[in-house]
Amino acid sequence: MASEPVARAVAEEVARWGAMRQTGVSLRYMMEFGARPTERTLLLAAQFLHKELPIRIARRALDLESLPFGLSAKPAILKVRDWYMDSFRDIRSFPEVRNRDDELAFTEMIKMIRVRHTNVVPTIALGVQQLKKDLGGSKAFPPGIHEIHQFLDRFYMSRIGIRMLIGQHVALHDPDPEPGVIGLINTKLSPLTVARIASEDARAICMREYGSAPDVDIYGDPDFTFPYVTPHLHLMMFELVKNSLRAVQERYMNSDNHAPPVRIIVADGAEDVTIKISDEGGGIPRSGLSRIFTYLYSTADNPPELDGHNEGVTMAGYGYGIPISRLYARYFGGDLQIISMEGYGTDAYLHLSRLGDSEEPLP
């Protein structure tokens, strides 16, 4: 009986915090603040996160309760909402951060929160799949279904922001960071190196799925570096290369012709760093191009079940790789464009803004 008043009190507190205004943090501030982490700067950062994270987490919990078409009631969505409620309670019940011991304990707690939310994307995808099944599939979508896409864009962009704030704070505790690395930000990131590692990872998945994989050729200046967040670039490159490998492999797997390589070109422009991923996998029909950036369509016949940590490890999953990659690019002011030639192949253009100059608050 006591649980109902407690649940009501938590719900009221979530509503109160969700109505508060969140504070944006610019990348330049993150880089300057984290350049030489001290006990004092880490304490100040923890105190900021102690107040900021409940606002952002509460907003997402409230969003999950008001989704259209009954999506909020799907078991997978309820599970995600519970994760956000648990994380909100964990932070709000943590006492004020006053000293180094408090700060270290707080850091361990938010590290666990980050782990708890690892499978948010595929779990929400499962909820969307459940809704699609109820609605009779993609062809039976009712008017207004685009609201779900808009919600997911906002939700996932906010998730990137929350994970960036937590990840940056946790990473600043590394006692022996690599030269030029400030938390999650590598001020001397080599896009060719990241492209090579992401390509090897994607080829390994392709090998596992099909027994073979096309080659990946990478072109660009091997000495070129720029400031960026390595895990973000790896995620985007992995998803795009994985899609290209799959398209080429499926087009040529029963052919006598040798599968052509996927080509990656890195260009250092005055405004952006642009990475092009080109394949000869047959392309995408023009009628289907508008769908590749939505969360409501997937090329997978049977999307993978969740097994704990399977985010992004199958060749054809929930179809979220491209829209999520575009959000990661846009988070720092970049973008992702897909140009396709049906009957030949697809070019993906990943435009990355140069980090460190912007004083604009991040989402």
DSSP state letters, 82-108: HHHHHHHHHHHTSPP--SHHHHHHHHH
Site of tokens 């260009």: 267
Are residues 122 and 67 in contact, defined by beta-carbon separation less than 8 angstroms? Answer: no
Tell me how far apart the alpha carbons of residues 68 and 151 are, in angstroms, rounded to a whole number.
Answer: 10
- Which of 25, 94, 18, 92 lies closest to 56 in space, CA to CA? 18
C-beta pairs of 290-295 under 8 Å, 24+ apart in sequence: 292/322, 292/323, 292/338, 293/322, 293/323, 293/326, 293/338, 294/149, 294/323, 295/125, 295/128, 295/148, 295/149, 295/152, 295/319, 295/320, 295/323
pLDDT tens string, the chain, 363 residues long: the values are 446 776 788 889 999 999 999 998 888 888 888 998 999 999 999 999 999 999 999 999 999 999 989 999 999 999 999 999 999 999 999 999 999 999 999 999 999 999 999 999 999 999 988 888 888 766 666 777 888 989 999 999 999 999 999 999 999 999 999 999 999 999 999 999 999 999 999 999 999 999 999 999 999 999 999 999 999 999 999 999 999 999 999 999 988 899 999 999 999 999 999 999 999 999 999 988 888 898 887 655 455 555 444 444 455 566 788 999 999 999 999 999 999 999 999 999 999 998 766 667 888
pLDDT at 49: 97
Tell me how far apart the alpha carbons of residues 137 and 168 are, in angstroms, rounded to a whole number.
Answer: 40
CA dihedral angle for residue 342, residue 345, residue 349, residue 350, rounded to 10 degrees: 120
Are residues 20 and 59 in contact, defined by beta-carbon separation less than 8 angstroms? Answer: no
- Which of 316, 235, 247, 324 lies closest to 278 in space, CA to CA? 247
Neighbour-count burial for 120-154, b at 16+ CB within 10 Å, e otherwise: bbbbbbbbbbbbbeebeeeeebeeebeebbebbbe
DSSP state letters, 101-170: HHHHHHHHHHHHHHHHTTTHHHHHHHHHHHHHHHHTSGGGPPTTTHHHHHHHHHHHHHHHHHHHHHHHHH
Are residues 189 and 273 in contact, defined by beta-carbon separation less than 8 angstroms? Answer: no
Cross-strand pairs, 228? 186
Q: Find the radius of gyration of the CA atoms of the chain.
A: 22
What is the domain partition of the chain in residue ranges?
A: 4-179, 185-353
Q: Largest Cα–Cα distance in the chain?
A: 70
Are residues 65 and 18 in contact, defined by beta-carbon separation less than 8 angstroms? Answer: no
Supply the CATH classification number for the domain 4-179.
1.20.140.20
Cα 104 to chain centroid distance, Å, stands at: 26
Structure tokens, 148: 């779900």
Q: Does domain 185-353 have CATH number 3.30.930.10?
A: no
> How many of the other CB atoms lie within 10 Å of CB of 104?
14
